[in-house]
């Protein structure tokens, strides 16, 4: 038997994931924070645990060192792992797993809702009705517009299909183009990001955060975009230079932005709170009942495999 620490807010509501772990004989230590835990908060929690089912918590070297004598696996209930110190986990022989594809539909649907919401300025008209001012705001049709999708993994692929169904032209960037998108959905891959910036009416980010993508949306790249273009980010906040984005939104060079991911969370940059051309959500792309259940079940199954000495299906280190 091992102690399994869970820090996902959704875990207490997923009876199936709980049953998978308890049926295997493991003890649950459930923590339900309102926001991802900092390393200083995690260190006292991880001593003596055998596994961790983690959200977007800061699992750095200090956390891993504190847990290392007993910890066998860190199972992320999602696909991002930039908050986990993979090098230290590898040194301590701790497995790190993810749940690929489990929440891709939910994140895709949020990205698409940003596109439709921004194009029709729904947030502004909702406000006008509530304030009894009854102000109609002119929007744009999506049909015939071009969207540049940067990253066509599971989320980007789903988004491309939905955008095509709305009559949008889809151009994309990915180191590994999808032949299915090319052949079945008419997606055109472009290897030059500058060309995508120049052509796209909407740009949707679906790339990991790493040294190559850090602040890829900056003053220089924004200057290459169409006046009035929209930026959608449901991936990682580190992809965008906040100062550059604020300037382009504030002077209305960009038409708007839909943001679900921020470099620092909770997001406290009050400059953005005054803008009427940005919609922001609290990193909630994967926060649907269906996605939460799928990711938690997969993560629980990966924990059982690791603690039983079996190979994991989605180990990344």
Among residues 76, 95, 157, 283, the one annotated as catalytic is 283
Strand partners of residue 29:
5
| Whether 206 is catalytic | no
Whether the CB-CB separation of 77 and 55 falls below 8 Å is answered with yes
| Whether 236 is catalytic | yes
Geometric angle at alpha carbon 72, from 311 and 67, rounded to 5°: 165
Enter the tokens of residue 274.
């005054």
Among residues 236, 301, 302, 305, the one annotated as catalytic is 236
| Whether 157 is catalytic | no
Per-residue b or e along 58-85, where b marks 16 or more CB atoms closer than 10 Å to that residue's CB: bbbebbbebbbeebbbbbbbbbbbebbb
Among residues 247, 235, 238, the alpha carbon closest in space to that of 217 is found at 238
Among residues 27, 265, 290, 310, the one annotated as catalytic is 265
Whether the CB-CB separation of 202 and 255 falls below 8 Å is answered with no
* DSSP secondary structure letters along 239-289: GB-HHHHHHHHHTTSS-EEEE---SSSS---HHHHT-SSEEE-SS-TT-SH
Phi and psi at residue 28, in whole multiples of 5°?
-95, 135
Beta strands in 120-273 (DSSP E): 146-150, 169-173, 188-189, 202-205, 230-233, 256-259
Distance CA 270, CA 299 (A): 36
Q: How far apart are the first and last CA of the chain?
A: 24
What residues are annotated to the active site?
236, 265, 283
């Amino acid at each position: 038997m091992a102690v399994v620490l869970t820090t996902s807010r959704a875990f207490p509501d997923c009876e199936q994931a709980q049953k998978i772990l308890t049926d295997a004989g493991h003890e649950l230590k459930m923590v339900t924070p309102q926001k991802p835990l900092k390393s200083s908060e995690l260190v006292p929690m991880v001593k003596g645990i055998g596994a961790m089912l983690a959200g977007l918590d800061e699992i750095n070297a200090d956390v891993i060192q504190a847990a290392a004598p007993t910890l066998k696996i860190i199972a992320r209930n999602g696909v991002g792992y930039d908050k986990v110190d993979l090098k230290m986990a590898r040194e301590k022989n701790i497995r790190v797993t993810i749940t690929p594809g489990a929440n891709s539909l939910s994140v895709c649907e949020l990205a698409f809702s940003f596109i439709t919401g921004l194009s029709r300025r729904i947030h502004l008209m909702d406000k006008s009705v509530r304030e009894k001012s009854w102000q109609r705001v002119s929007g744009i049709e999506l049909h015939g517009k071009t969207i540049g999708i940067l990253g066509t993994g599971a989320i980007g692929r789903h988004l491309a299909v939905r955008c095509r169904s709305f009559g949008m032209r889809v151009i994309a960037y990915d180191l590994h183009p999808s032949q299915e998108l090319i052949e079945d959905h008419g997606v055109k891959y472009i290897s030059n990001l500058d060309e995508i910036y120049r052509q796209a009416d909407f740009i949707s980010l679906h790339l990991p955060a790493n040294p190559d993508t850090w602040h890829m949306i900056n003053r220089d790249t924004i200057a290459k975009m169409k006046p009035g273009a929209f930026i959608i980010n449901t991936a990682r906040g580190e992809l965008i230079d906040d100062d550059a984005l604020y300037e382009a939104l504030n002077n209305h060079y960009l038409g708007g932005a839909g943001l679900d991911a921020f470099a620092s969370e909770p997001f406290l940059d009050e400059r953005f709170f005054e803008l009427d051309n940005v919609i922001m959500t609290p990193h909630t792309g994967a926060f649907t009942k269906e996605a939460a259940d799928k990711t938690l079940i997969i993560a629980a199954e990966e924990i059982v495999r690791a603690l039983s000495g079996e190979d994991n299906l989605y180990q990344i280190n």
